[in-house]
Amino acid sequence: MGSIVFARVDDRLIHGEIMVEWAPRIKPTTILIIDNVLAADKMMQNVYTMAAPPGIRVKVMDVETASEEWRKNRFGQEQDRIFILFKTISMAKEVIEGGLPIKELNIGSIGKRGKDIKKVTATIAMDENDARMLLDLEKDWKNVEIYFQTMPGQKKLSRSYILEKYFPDLNSVTETNL
């Protein structure tokens, strides 16, 4: 039975920051990318596999397969340390709602895409739909700690801090009444 040691939303997936800063601290044996679109793109899967350093396996699964693999064999051997990467908040939400026991969700990088996007940190841009999904996750799955942190060593910013500052209209749901 593998153990999930870290889960992160980062639309760049495997890149230098992940390999140089996060992986040495987390010491994963496997990076599991959960993304429905990427799971159907063999060429891009090969690109991400080649981006990982020697000794770290890369697996790519869609949400359904990831949920099945977790129920079936907990992603592998007991010694497996799984670092999960999501491209979007919606993928993370779908997997958590499907039963994956993620206790912490790091929001690390979401690029600016489309209109009505607010830049909430130097590397994270969100719209109201993203904010609502995070609220839903904490409301429905209270055991998931959601925080914003680009690099290890930086201060973690709480979900409530970011949403209250950048999405005050959603303030009717606060941590005190979750």
pTM for this model (two decimals): 0.91
- Read off the pLDDT of residues 139-157 as tens digits, 9 standing for 90 and up: 776 678 999 999 999 999 9
**How far, in Å, are 69, 92, 118, 125 from residue 128 at the CA level?**
32, 16, 9, 10
- Read off the pLDDT of residues 86-124 as tens digits, 9 standing for 90 and up: 999 999 999 998 889 999 999 999 998 878 899 999 999
Q: Between 12 and 178, whose confidence is greater? A: 12
Strand pairing partners for 6? 83
Structure tokens at 90: 């919606």
Element (H, E) at 173: none
Question: Which of these CATH numbers, 1.10.3720.10, 3.40.50.300, 3.40.35.10, 3.30.300.30, describes 3-177?
Answer: 3.40.35.10
The strand pair at 81-86 and 145-148 is best described as unpaired
